[in-house]
A and B are shown apart, each in its own frame.
Chain A
Amino acid sequence: MSETPPSPETAGAADPEAVTIDEPTIGAAVDAALAAIAGATTTAELKQVRIDHVGDASVLSRANASIRDLPKDQKAAAGKLVGQSKGRVQKALAARQDELAAAEEEAALAEETVDVTVPVDRRPRGSRHPLRTLQDRIEDFFVGIGWEIAEGPEIETVWYNFDALNAEANHPSRSPQDTLYVAPEDSGLLLRTQTSPVQIRAMLERGAPLYIACPGTVYRADEFDATHSPMFNQIEGLAIDKNLTMANLVGTLDAFAAAIFGGRPVTRLRPNHFPFTEPSAEMDFRCFSCDARLGLDHDADPECRVCGGTGWIEMGGCGMVHPDVLRSAGVDPEEYQGFAFGLGIERILMLRNGVADMHDMVEGDVRFSQHYGTEI
């Protein structure tokens, strides 16, 4: 308890020891206190006002102390008068305290204002390669429909890449103009030209039923240009089960198109020929970019960069797995059947995100990746 000397005004108001407890005296003390509270402009001033008007030496406090000396019959009235008066002053003090503290905090914060538009990136953000991000997203689609993701080596045997896939000994795709082979001549090895060998590996390892998607990097002896690269990425799907039909192939492609391109999926199959499927088909997706996306009854924009005005985008080959392929992979074609399809991830990125030149995807220029960050 510190003893605070009474302030001159209060001290001079009356006898410092005794206070007359009546309406005029107490009323005057209250008025003085309220005036001082209103006049305080900082929390520090207000602190002094509190000491002066409700501190131990203040009129109100002394009046309160004097009550016990009053005759019994006056105590109640005096107590009520002093208590209510002091209450009024305390309430005003609290209100003024809040007001001043808020103003002071506001001023202090204003003082601390900074320019938030200055660059804050001390460490620039990194990025994933958009092909990888897209591949992750495609994988997630297949995982979402209950399939698994299978992988295999990029340096592959001729058997897995061609023979097991029913490619004739003379098939043009085997020529050194198309396929990169490993030395020496009889190594029996090549850089895989498709991810289909992963399908064979998966069938041999896991048997049927089997629902897998096989993403990966593949190689062809192609020269670089805006739409060709000797290295690119594919994702192939393979489903083997009892009673799977081409209708299931169409259903899977429709779901895929919707997941990756959005909109109302329409896919179209056209007859084609591949050694590893029978029946075989070329799959087209309805253009997702121009008016053609609205349905078959809407014409494509003749200038559309995505579909070239045809309304359709060629997406790759597909079909029902050839019985000889199943046999190579140890699956009995009399019991199981299934479908397979292949999609180019670069092609999807080019179409979906408008990448114009294949070079950008393989040259490793960080600006290409940085544009996307970690999402596409």
Chain B
Amino acid sequence: MPRIPLTWLGQHVALPEDASAQQVATDLSRVGLEEEAIFGAQVTGPLVVGRVLDLVKEPQKNGKTINWCRVDVGPEHNEAEDSPKDPQPGEERPSRGIICGAHNFVEGDLVVVSLPGTVLPGPFPIAARKTYGHVSDGMICSGDELGLGPDPDGEDGIIVLGRGHARGLTGEPGDDAISLLGLGEEVVEINVTPDRGYAFSMRGVAREYSHATGAAFTDPVSTIEVPTADGDGIAVQLADEAPVQGRDGCTRFVAQEVSGIDTEAATPRWMQQRLILAGMRPISLIVDVTNYVMLDLGQPLHAYDAAELVGPVTVRRAHPGEKLETLDDKPRALDPEDLVIADAGGSGDRAIGIAGVMGGASTEVSSSTRDVVLEAATFDTVSVARSARRHRLPSEASKRFERGVDPLLPAVAVTRAAGLLAEHGGGTVSASRTDVGEVAAREPIAFEVDAPAALVGIDYTPEQVRESLEAIGCTVDGEAVAGGTLVVTPPSWRGDLVIREDLIEEIARLVGYEKIPSILPQAPGGRGLTRAQQARRHAARAFAEAGLSEVTSLPFVPASVFDTLGYGADDERREAVRLLNPLAEDEPLLRTRLLQTLLPVARRNLGRGQDSLALFELGAVSRAARGRIEELPAAQRPTPAQLQQVDEAMPAQTRHLAAVLGGTVGPASWWGAPEQWHWAAAIDLAQRAAAAVGARVEVRQREQAPFHPGRCAELFLEDGTVIGHAGELHPKVVKAFDLPARTSALELDLEAVIVSAPAVVEAEPVSTYPLAKEDFAFVVDEGVPAVAVQAAIVAGIGDVLESVHLFDVFTGEQVGEGKKSLAFAVHLRSEDGTLSAQQIGAARERCIEAVSRAVGGVLRA
């Protein structure tokens, strides 16, 4: 994102004398340019130029040789006399004594000295200190120490004025080296949203700063006069035969030749410095100038070595299989969707750059380039964005083109760049210039003066409306009066302004978002949480109250989990949604059951020191889609049939509730051994969850992975719909996840349970007649489920039954091999009167008869 050195910004807009980076960032943020980072002054304190007067080399025991120097740091900073305890080398003169380990300098050189009190990047405060037997009263600095990076000339050591980092610089002892080296400059890095490409330049940011503060803004474009071309330069053809999304890849292409540039000419120091501050590396005059103009105006430029470029130039899509070596010396296989610049070199039709992304190596400017062709074009945002992404080349050019570049800039930018090459490199600007393509006229927008007030809630005056629109560069026709309509033509650099609401945002942000009042709207009144939303809370709360802890887990699973859980080959729970680009290659599926991800979470908890488990999750599960999703149009309502098709083709999705219970229920306790979690608790919790949402689930014996074949309950609704399972986990599953022995679990389709709950719970009368208690013990075959006996009791006794409860199960010799005794406590009560002895006796008879008939049970004597 663009870095804005304040002095550069100040060239286009009136910055206050004392403007700080922080203040500028705050101002810009108000108009929508968010602060990304602030780079403060890199160096503070007395960093000065010094002249090395005397230098004595002193070899040390550690093998190093140090330089013991007498340095003149100017009258203001020099010590008048040497310290008698530590006299400096050579003749005594006003100076300071400094120890230096570098060797790339000699007596008489001008160097950069950080005196005590200076703070170098790090921060690294400098103080006088004793070292190698002398007091070093400051430090002679290298480029690295000043945050300037490695020496551009490859010199190893300290900065010597006139060379390397300080090429072209000179000074007198005592001069401020911070300003000399440009180390005091503050820089703001901002974030530019995708709609505001123009702010990817000093020009655009200066305009925004002016919007934020009202400071006077001078458009740098207005200061550049584009001379009328004397004929065309190199021939250029725009030949995009396969526009992406129907948009021409290149709508304008400007080429300007500059010849006879001095290959020895260096980039001026101020320009290098600005490039560095803006985050770019100075390379050569030609490259630096193109970058500088891009940073300043926002128009990416490319310089071709004219000696290597063979006209005519064609802008076209890449041929299938075509290759290109880009400037970064990487070979690239081009995609037929890539827009390329091609010339007639090589075999007569060669790609020499990916349009708007990066140039090619074959026509790259080099240290011997004297003649260049400068390119400035208008490329389509989408085409550039896709190429940049395809080749993973987010270049400075592509970042700007993706967001849109002012189509009026190309001729201005090449003129400016050519001028700089002439000025600093002695080049001759060709009088001819190629300019092909067109700049489409902007569509005017009809704009009601009252529209901003209606959407924003501030009563903008007609003047505010007009002034704001004009400030951002719009042409405003029509009379700005309340109730009137304006015709607004957005400026060339604001491709994002297309509809009325776009303009309203501009007015809102220029006047200030902070002026918007705060008014809580009065909603018409909702119906509260839905039954399902309430019910989910109740179910989760019931589990929490029962001692379980809620957790969440990521829904991604490996295919192997289905085998681990023992699903059969045709099990529908294997029909999982698969991700195209999973986060982890080995977990490409979405869970079809919560236990698939909850069991690994259980294992993690055990691994972290838990020795028992009581956890649950309420989360989404899915099943692979059956149909194909039809494409729907944007910006218009799809038909009901289309929406229905989509709904039906989507993967089935619902919310499940699952729990894993293992080990002890509580800690070992003073009142006895702790209870263990087991299969019965799992079934009980499933029924409690159902009860919490006002529903009922029933159970029957069933074999179902991942449960123990003999200890699994199938959970079903009154209408027979199976909604889940509960019981003890299969020992293989327990082992696979390193769970405590006999760990139990449950999982149910909570949404289905909730839907089954009655909308209204009907009342039941409370009888006040006396209760009769009767106990029965039936001997039945071992395979008869208790619930079947109970059902027979219920059916047999009929209306007068109030409740029935199994209170004992007994097997043993007394009841016989293969038999069991089930004892039930039965409560009888009538709504109509006190039950007589005969009525109670009759009920007993009916009960015994029904159990005998239904399950062959015999009343135990």
Which residues of A come within 8 Å of B, CB atoms? 118-119, 121-129, 131-132, 136, 139, 143, 145-149, 151, 153-155, 157-159, 163-164, 166, 168-172, 175-176, 180-189, 191, 204, 209, 211, 217, 221, 223, 230-231, 239, 241, 243-248, 250-252, 254-255, 267-273, 278-282, 320, 322-324, 327-330, 337, 361-367, 369-370, 373-374
Contacts and interface: CB of A to CB of B under 8 A. Distances in A.
A219 to B, nearest CB: 8
27 contacts: A122-B671, A122-B675, A146-B524, A148-B526, A148-B528, A153-B650, A155-B577, A159-B631, A159-B638, A169-B245, A169-B382, A180-B580, A182-B579, A182-B651, A189-B577, A189-B629, A204-B637, A239-B521, A239-B523, A245-B457, A252-B521, A270-B30, A271-B30, A272-B32, A320-B501, A361-B552, A374-B544
A146 B526 CA distance: 5
B508 interface: yes
Interface stretch (B9-17, B281-289, B607-615): B607-615
B526 A155 contact: no
A168 to B, nearest CB: 8
A279 B505 contact: yes
Contacts of A172: 194, 385
Contacts of B529: 139, 143, 149
Given A128-B544, A269-B513, A279-B509, A245 B625 contact: no
A103 B291 CA distance: 100
A125 B547 contact: yes
Contact of A246 (B508, B525, B541): B508
B523 A147 contact: yes
Contact of B651 (A119, A131, A189, A366): A189
B516 A250 contact: yes
B620 A127 contact: no
Nearest to B31: A271
A176 B457 contact: no
A282 B34 contact: yes
Interface stretch (B88-96, B435-443, B468-476, B661-669): B661-669
A166 B634 contact: yes
Q: Closest 3 CB pairs between A and B?
A: A271-B32, A247-B457, A245-B457
A363 B602 CA distance: 10
Nearest to A153: B653
A149 B533 contact: yes
Q: Point out which of B456, B527, B543 has the most chain A C-beta atoms below 10 A from its C-beta.
A: B456
A281 B505 CA distance: 9
A127 B550 CA distance: 6
> What interface size band does chain B fall in?
35 or more
A175 B527 CA distance: 39
Contact of B457 (A148, A217, A248): A248
B784 interface: no
B634 A324 contact: yes
A372 to B, nearest CB: 10
Contacts of B630: 188
Contact of B553 (A223, A329, A364, A374): A364
A369 B544 CA distance: 10
B355 to A, nearest CB: 16
Interface string B464-506: 0000000000000000000000000000000000010110110
A251 B520 contact: yes
A328 B636 contact: yes
A369 B549 contact: yes
A149 to B, nearest CB: 6
B551 A129 contact: yes
A126 B518 contact: no
Given A247-B456, A279-B508, A269 B514 contact: yes
Contacts of A251: 517-521
Interface in B588-619: 588, 590, 598, 601, 604-605, 608, 610, 614-615, 617-619
Interface of B: 29-32, 34, 193-196, 245, 381-382, 385-386, 389, 454-458, 499, 501-502, 504-505, 508-509, 513-514, 516-530, 533, 537, 540-541, 543-555, 577-583, 588, 590, 598, 601, 604-605, 608, 610, 614-615, 617-620, 622, 625, 628-638, 643, 646, 650-651, 653, 665-667, 669-671, 674-675
A136 B539 CA distance: 13
Nearest to A185: B580
Contacts of A281: 513
Nearest to B383: A170
Contact of A145 (B523, B527, B604, B670): B523
A125 to B, nearest CB: 6
B502 A278 contact: yes
Q: Point out which of A122, A280, A330 has the most chain B C-beta atoms below 10 A from its C-beta.
A: A122
Contact of A271 (B505, B517, B550, B610): B505
Given A123-B665, A270-B34, A272-B193, A370 B549 contact: yes
Contact of A176 (B31, B517, B580, B636): B580
B403 to A, nearest CB: 10
A251 B521 CA distance: 7
Contacts of A363: 601, 604
A252 B666 contact: no
Given A145-B520, A146-B523, A271-B509, A278 B499 contact: yes
A280 to B, nearest CB: 7
A273 B638 CA distance: 26
B454 A243 contact: yes
Contacts of A136: 537
A250 B653 contact: no
A221 B382 CA distance: 22
Contacts of A280: 505
Contacts of B667: 119, 121, 124
Nearest to A131: B552
Contacts of A145: 520, 523
Contact of B523 (A211, A243, A247): A211
Contacts of B519: 245, 247-248, 250-251
Contact of B646 (A157, A252, A254): A157
A247 B458 contact: yes
A210 B514 CA distance: 27
Nearest to B192: A273
A282 B191 CA distance: 13
Contacts of B580: 176, 180-185, 187
Contacts of B504: 278-279
Nearest to B528: A143
Given A148-B528, A172-B194, A365-B605, 20 more contacts: A122-B666, A128-B541, A136-B537, A148-B527, A149-B533, A153-B653, A155-B650, A163-B633, A170-B381, A185-B580, A247-B517, A269-B513, A269-B516, A270-B29, A273-B32, A273-B195, A278-B504, A328-B636, A364-B615, A369-B550
A367 B614 CA distance: 12
A128 B552 contact: no
Q: Point out which of B554, B608, B646 has the most chain A C-beta atoms below 10 A from its C-beta.
A: B554
